[in-house]
Structure 1
Amino acid sequence: SSIGGTDSRIMHLEIPSRLEELPSQGDIVVYCRSGQRSDAVARFIVDSGLCNGMIYNLLGGINAWSDEVDPNVVKY
């Protein structure tokens, strides 16, 4: 499942080899199903030092987004 209007969809295990695809300027919101994997990815991006914007983890992930913001987003 995904949130409409997002720019990239990169699986968490692919982040180390695809960091150059992330914008170096601007903010990034990282999300997964429950927020646990995306938390690790957000920390990795911050530690990489390649992005100058804010890095956010969507707490509760896509399931929380579906519950609290848009019930049309399918949970998985």
Structure 2
Amino acid sequence: MSRCYLLLTLADRRRLHQLVERKVPVNEMARQLSRHRSTIYREIRRNTFHDRELPEYSGYFSTVANDIAKDRRQRL
């Protein structure tokens, strides 16, 4: 039995970035993006940028998250 799901688009990630910046609760983010909250948690955990030299530049950024996800898909 196959499952059908939609990947997050760059537009979804841009909206998610705005919500993360405003510190909206994850349940509300999921509701606004019409996704399950575990999808939002997973997206933020997997695609957050970490800079060890300049930690103040670490965070969730939509274009960086999109590139990280694209690279992960290509490796599979």
TM band (smaller chain): under 0.3
More helix by share: 2
Asked which structure has the greater RCO (Cα within 8 Å, sep 6+), the reply is: 1
Instruction: Give the alignment's TM-score, normalised by structure 1.
Output: 0.26
Instruction: Give the alignment's TM-score, normalised by structure 2.
Output: 0.26
Larger radius of gyration: 2
